[in-house]
Structure 1
Amino acid sequence: MSKSCVNSNITQETGLHLFTECSFTKTIWAEMGAWTRCTYIDPGHWDGHESLHIWWTTLASTQVANRKGLRSLIILVLWEIWTERNARIFQNKEQMIHRMANKIKDQAATWIAAGAKHLESFINVVRDL
């Protein structure tokens, strides 16, 4: 028995679907792309990928001024998608897209305050362009 995606409830949940193909997830990535003004994390600029590993490798090796900062943001977004998925499954709670996007922005600020200098540099550089 295959499990349906908890966000879209229409397709089999795989890592690739959950983190890159789900309509809910794509909207989160698009919000983050708009917030940081980084088109690389906007799904509208992604090619189809055969696996989550290929998606990660492609996105994380993007030629940007601060690749470590980009990777930090990707990890943060992935983590928040995963925690949202688990909240929906185990606590029967769900956030609206705008609340989740705001949570990611707040978490980025927390990471920066805790010393994530590459993330801070990435967000500041791409937002200043």
Structure 2
Amino acid sequence: ETSDHLLLCCPFSRGLWFQLFHRLGWSSISPSIQDQWLVAWWTQARKRIHKEERRCFDTMVILVRWMIWKERNNRTFDRTTRTLQEVLVRVVDEIVAWFRTGFSKL
């Protein structure tokens, strides 16, 4: 298991990226089956985003990576599994928490 596979290529991760970006109106930049390298996809995708939205996009990428990593650790060490929808809810909850703490540029 490589980090690129875990964070970008596996079906669970791809589904999470797609559903979140669909909600944000960024469906066109969701990782596709051809995207194999996280940094390469991220670099190309952010070029397709309006300059004013890039900070938000970068923050979303970091947040989703973190949430995927936490889910992986929960599965590995705690033997708990959440559905894609449950993880998506956690991501959205985290976004709301960031807003409440003053991260208004998200």
Q: TM-score, normalised by structure 1?
A: 0.72
Aligned-pair identity (%): 28
**Which stretches of structure 1, 4 residues or longer, exceed 4 Å deviation after superposition?**
none
Among residues 25, 38, 45, which one is paired with 1:52 in the alignment?
38
Which ranges of structure 2 fall in alignment gaps of 5 or more residues?
none
Give the alignment of 1:97-116 within 5 angstroms: 97-116=84-103
1:123 maps to none
Deviations 1:52-85 (A, max 9, x none): 3222222334332311011111111111000000
Larger radius of gyration: 1
Instruction: Check conservation: 1:32, 1:41, Cα contact below 8 A.
Output: no
Partners in 2 of 1:25 and 1:47 — Cα distance?
11
Point out where structure 1 has 5 or more consecutive residues left out of the alignment.
Answer: 1-12, 120-129
* SS of the residue 1:66 aligns to: helix
Counterpart for residue 78 of structure 2: 91
Aligned residues: 105
Give the SS at the match of 1:93. Answer: coil
Whether the aligned pair in 1 keeps the contact of 2:13 and 2:68 (CA below 8 Å) is yes
Deviations 1:60-118 (A, max 9, x none): 34332311011111111111000000110111111011111011000000011112222
